[in-house]
Structure 1
Amino acid sequence: MTILENITAPSNKNEELQALAKKHLLLHFTHADYYDSAPLTIMSRGEGCWVEDESGNRYLDGLAGLYCVNIGYSHGVEIGEAVKRQMSQLPYFSNWGYANEPSIRLAAKLASLAPPQMIRVFFTSSGSESNETAMKLVRQYHLARGDHAKTKLIARRVSYHGTSYGALSLNGMTNIRKTFEPLMSSVRHVSNTKRYMRPEGESEALFTAFLLNEIESLIIQEGPDTVAGIFIEPMQNAGGSRTPPAGYVEGVRQLCDKYGVLLVADEVICGFGRLGEWFGSTRYGLKPDIITFAKGIASGYFPLGGMITSDAVMEPILNGPHQMFLHGLTYGGHPAACAAALTNIEIMEREGVLENVRNNQDYFRAKLEALKVHAIVGDVRGDGFHYSLELVTDKADRTWTSSVPSTEFVATRLAPALFKSGLLCRAAVDHEGTPLIQLSPPLILSREEIDWLVAQLDAVLTQQIEIGFD
């Protein structure tokens, strides 16, 4: 027996994997308990919208892995064959002054799917890298035009744009920023588009006016000659499926045009069908200068991300002092990754994945809206296949006022109950202290699976209400 066989075929595989993981594997955003006494869930296989762990337990993946397995788990052979063909021909070459066929064809395909004029594509390996790339492009664009003071960026509170240094600076999530501060000093934050908990009687038009006035006031305060770019997600993921109010995206575009600011749409989650369109910008009529993407481009089957922009943005840079975009990544445009993405897009088109979202999004939302019958479901929001439930103990005040703190409720009751029910989703606490349940499943989810998912939520909420919050 070889060393490899000895490792992968033990008498008690799960027990050995538990021990090896806790000794050697550093997990992402995972509590220290998992390195000690708490058992680690080790996933072993997947099919459709479902995954199974090493112990044989089956779960509906209500979060598409990490908002990325858009085509579900059943296409590994097909995408694997595409990767295998590419690996046998050209396993690697960089895009540093060279190209390869998969990266060329994928760039052309993305240009055909993106909003008008968005035709220039730069590849990365992740969403964080994509946003870092966009930050550098924004900076170099203004430098090439002679606007040397334009260095400041605006993002939204509670937003999430990645965990690398620059992307973390964009983030508006205090809980993951503060440990690493000081970060970049040139980022400012404005309000996001959450309607729930806004003042009673405020109209949508007034809310939009408030948001746009705040952005414009900040630009004026900082000095229009110093503001370089605004980063927004078409629908903000962090804080729970925050959709734009009427007139917001048009207003942001107008402000960017008025003050010479580049608008960046972070589509790392919204892109590739999550909202029923190839890009969330299309869904809402957002007209960005730059789009960043990752996750759904290859449905998580291969690490890949990137940035799309226009000739209008690139021409000053390519005709500027350096005559190049001063940025590069070893694995950007990796031929095998691009081959995987091309096949993923082919599958999405062939299987009618976007059509499935469009045909079922209203049904999904209606089923979730029905959960408002529960005393603790305060708000249901989202679009496409991305929804969030905000939980409160006082619907009139829209607050969590229980003697059981929201963080304790989520950690010790809600999250374990959801997991035990066989539903994988995100249970978290909003920055305002209210629990959230977030759902962003594979885009192939059927109505029967929607029914099953909502039935599990219904049962868990009923159970928690019966336990009580005193």
Structure 2
Amino acid sequence: MTSSTRTPTEELSATAGRHLLLNMTPNGSFGQGGQDLFVVRSGEGPYVDDADGRRYIDGLSGLYCCQLGYSYAPEFADAAARQLRELCFSPLWSASAHPTAIELSERLARIAPVDIEHTFFSGGGAEAVETAWKIARRYHALRGDSTRTKAISRRGAYHGLTLGALSLTDDPGLREPYGPGAIETRFVSNTNRFGLAPECADDDVYTARLLAELEAAILAEGPETIALLIAEPVQNRGGCITPPQGYWPGLRTLADRYGFLLVADEVITAFGRLGEWFGGDCYAARPDLVTVAKGITAGYAPMGATLVSSKVTEVINRPGAVLNHGYTFAGHPLSAAIALRSLEIMERDRILDNVRDQQGHLATRMAALTDLPLVGDVRGAGFFYACELVGDLEGGGFSDRARADLVADLVPRRLREAGLLARVYNRAAPLVQIAPPLISDRALLDRIADILTDTLTEASARL
């Protein structure tokens, strides 16, 4: 095919194959002689259009970022233009700051979990997690607890791909190519009940079991060596895993008992994904630090942040103490202005109320998918759900053929053909995940559920 007869997607794929390295992608599979990329050209409302003009429901909110969809660009452009006319850049460095970052930090303190009063800005989620680790280490060192050099995370968790954050991520395929982790980390069970004994359906029983396992791990490692425990209010990796009642208060009790800091990784769950400003509020979480990114700017600019409790800042802000950590572009004026505008829009247009109003209906539609033979479990909250698929082998596993035919091919292909962008995992636990924009109305949520139903019904018949 000559270049004059190529589609826009084919042209762009060929150029990308020559010059662009994609994230988390077998880059050698694309380009000349390889498969085409999925190239997103534009967006409107909850939809995106590809380079060839086909329209899709963005059922993942641009990888959990675009809380407001794609129709607020004029407002964000106005906020950006105002900021750029006034100040294009100034670092938060060496006793220097700028008004927009100061205003955003004050705004975040007003909506943050109880006792969270300070913000350290960064460029994204992994940097926010790295910052949480370094603040925790600095906190303990200033208190004379220099032996606290270990972390606790949960099995299957993902907290980022920089070397520190990667140490807290339980995925050997991601960690092992880069050698030993930078942080010694003990992994404990997450809160996924699927496939467990029937008594784990009882919240009190299950919470007690999880907290007993965690306490045993703390004691085995030595409480005096643990700097922090990090967990997501709803764990993304493994499929929107919600906690049982009492779990987060139990984490708070153990953190206080043994002296480590509790970190809520809210990179995905903050800013309305679960119907609250912070997802941990749904589960009575009382963290010492909170990591955020993604939805803080609704995807209109890059930004991350680590929110810090007064308990911690009382130590790290002691006279003469230096927080010797930073990023050149932390709290960039443009990103800060866009984050402020995003928070303003969410309040003005009652975005949280929309999630609260629609989440029960979405939960009902998603739960109905468990009637299909291919769907073993549905779990999630707010606008954040996953279906765990079960296959043709005893115990629900997939044969190699069924995994290749259904999970790797038919399900993602049919979803895309039906106009829905969703996430289909093809790992130890095959999953289909959705996280639609928070502006989605009932009709759109029904359309998403209908596409999932039709696709998984066809796959079940093929199984």
1:45 to 2:42 alignment: yes
Within 5 Å, give how 1:452-463 maps onto structure 2. Answer: 452-463=447-458
Question: Residue in 2 aligned with 1:76?
Answer: 73
Asked if the contact 2:8/2:52 (under 8 Å) is kept, the reply is: no
Q: 1:173 aligns with which of 171, 174, 184?
A: 171
Q: 1:419 aligns with which of 399, 416, 420?
A: 416
1:147 to 2:145 alignment: yes
Asked if the contact 1:46/1:52 (under 8 Å) is kept, the reply is: yes
**Alpha-carbon distance in 2 for matches of 1:174, 1:409:** 25
Question: Residue in 2 aligned with 1:33?
Answer: 29
Per-residue displacement from partner, 1:231-281 (whole Å, max 9, x unpaired)? 010110110011111111111110000000100000000100000000011
TM-score, scaled relative to structure 1: 0.93
Asked if the contact 2:9/2:37 (under 8 Å) is kept, the reply is: no
**Alpha-carbon distance in 2 for matches of 1:350, 1:133:** 31
| Alpha-carbon distance, 1:16 to partner | 3.2
Asked if the contact 1:14/1:54 (under 8 Å) is kept, the reply is: yes
**Any idea what SS the aligned residue of 2:248 has?**
helix
**Any idea what SS the aligned residue of 1:119 has?**
strand
Structure 1 residues 345 and 329 mapped into 2: Cα distance closer, same or farther (>3 Å)?
same
| Alpha-carbon distance, 1:434 to partner | 3.2
Asked if the contact 1:157/1:190 (under 8 Å) is kept, the reply is: yes
Question: Residue in 1 aligned with 2:219?
Answer: 220
Opposite residue 158 of structure 1, the aligned amino acid is G
Q: 1:88 aligns with which of 78, 85, 89?
A: 85
Opposite residue 413 of structure 2, the aligned amino acid is P
Asked if the contact 2:164/2:183 (under 8 Å) is kept, the reply is: no
Structure 1 residues 181 and 207 mapped into 2: Cα distance closer, same or farther (>3 Å)?
farther
Q: Percent identity?
A: 42
Question: Residue in 2 aligned with 1:7?
Answer: none
| Alpha-carbon distance, 1:118 to partner | 0.3
**Alpha-carbon distance in 2 for matches of 1:169, 1:270:** 21
Question: Residue in 2 aligned with 1:208?
Answer: 207
Question: Residue in 1 aligned with 2:62?
Answer: 65
Q: 1:400 aligns with which of 383, 397, 401?
A: 397
1:349 to 2:344 alignment: no
Per-residue displacement from partner, 1:340-375 (whole Å, max 9, x unpaired)? 000011111111110000000010010111122211
| Alpha-carbon distance, 1:413 to partner | 2.0
| Alpha-carbon distance, 1:377 to partner | 1.1
| Alpha-carbon distance, 1:184 to partner | 2.1
| Alpha-carbon distance, 1:408 to partner | 5.5
Deviates more, 1:336-345 or 1:366-375: 366-375
**Alpha-carbon distance in 2 for matches of 1:407, 1:166:** 34
Deviates more, 1:67-76 or 1:398-407: 398-407
Question: Residue in 1 aligned with 2:192?
Answer: 194
RMSD over aligned CA atoms reads 1.8
Question: Residue in 1 aligned with 2:371?
Answer: 373
| Alpha-carbon distance, 1:324 to partner | 2.0
Asked if the contact 1:399/1:434 (under 8 Å) is kept, the reply is: no
Question: Residue in 2 aligned with 1:123?
Answer: 121
**Alpha-carbon distance in 2 for matches of 1:13, 1:387:** 33
**Alpha-carbon distance in 1 for matches of 2:362, 2:111:** 26
Structure 1 residues 108 and 398 mapped into 2: Cα distance closer, same or farther (>3 Å)?
farther
**Any idea what SS the aligned residue of 1:381 has?**
strand
1:22 to 2:7 alignment: no
**Any idea what SS the aligned residue of 1:288 has?**
coil
**Alpha-carbon distance in 2 for matches of 1:14, 1:330:** 36
**Alpha-carbon distance in 2 for matches of 1:138, 1:402:** 44
Structure 1 residues 289 and 185 mapped into 2: Cα distance closer, same or farther (>3 Å)?
closer
Structure 1 residues 248 and 335 mapped into 2: Cα distance closer, same or farther (>3 Å)?
same
Asked if the contact 2:9/2:36 (under 8 Å) is kept, the reply is: no
| Alpha-carbon distance, 1:150 to partner | 0.8
Per-residue displacement from partner, 1:78-106 (whole Å, max 9, x unpaired)? 10111111111100000002111110110
**Any idea what SS the aligned residue of 2:187 has?**
strand
**Alpha-carbon distance in 2 for matches of 1:407, 1:118:** 47
Asked if the contact 1:197/1:398 (under 8 Å) is kept, the reply is: no
How many residue pairs are counted as aligned between the two chains? 456
Per-residue displacement from partner, 1:362-394 (whole Å, max 9, x unpaired)? 100101111222111111111000001011136
Structure 1 residues 289 and 52 mapped into 2: Cα distance closer, same or farther (>3 Å)?
same
Asked if the contact 2:245/2:283 (under 8 Å) is kept, the reply is: no
**Alpha-carbon distance in 2 for matches of 1:341, 1:358:** 22
Opposite residue 342 of structure 2, the aligned amino acid is N
**Alpha-carbon distance in 2 for matches of 1:34, 1:413:** 20
Per-residue displacement from partner, 1:311-362 (whole Å, max 9, x unpaired)? 2201212227x51211110000101100000001111111111000000001
Within 5 Å, give how 1:262-341 maps onto structure 2. Answer: 262-319=261-318, 323-341=321-339
Unaligned runs of 5+ in 1: 1-9
| Alpha-carbon distance, 1:287 to partner | 0.1
Unaligned runs of 5+ in 2: none
Deviates more, 1:186-195 or 1:130-139: 186-195
Per-residue displacement from partner, 1:199-218 (whole Å, max 9, x unpaired)? 23433322212211111111
**Any idea what SS the aligned residue of 1:109 has?**
helix
Asked if the contact 2:229/2:263 (under 8 Å) is kept, the reply is: yes
**Alpha-carbon distance in 2 for matches of 1:174, 1:12:** 39
**Any idea what SS the aligned residue of 1:60 has?**
strand
| Alpha-carbon distance, 1:39 to partner | 1.2
**Alpha-carbon distance in 1 for matches of 2:151, 2:377:** 31
**Alpha-carbon distance in 2 for matches of 1:363, 1:398:** 31
**Any idea what SS the aligned residue of 2:396 has?**
coil
Asked if the contact 1:63/1:425 (under 8 Å) is kept, the reply is: yes
**Alpha-carbon distance in 2 for matches of 1:327, 1:236:** 28
Per-residue displacement from partner, 1:46-104 (whole Å, max 9, x unpaired)? 01110001101110000000101001110111101111111111000000021111101
| Alpha-carbon distance, 1:420 to partner | 1.5
Structure 1 residues 19 and 401 mapped into 2: Cα distance closer, same or farther (>3 Å)?
closer
**Alpha-carbon distance in 2 for matches of 1:15, 1:180:** 34
**Any idea what SS the aligned residue of 1:44 has?**
strand
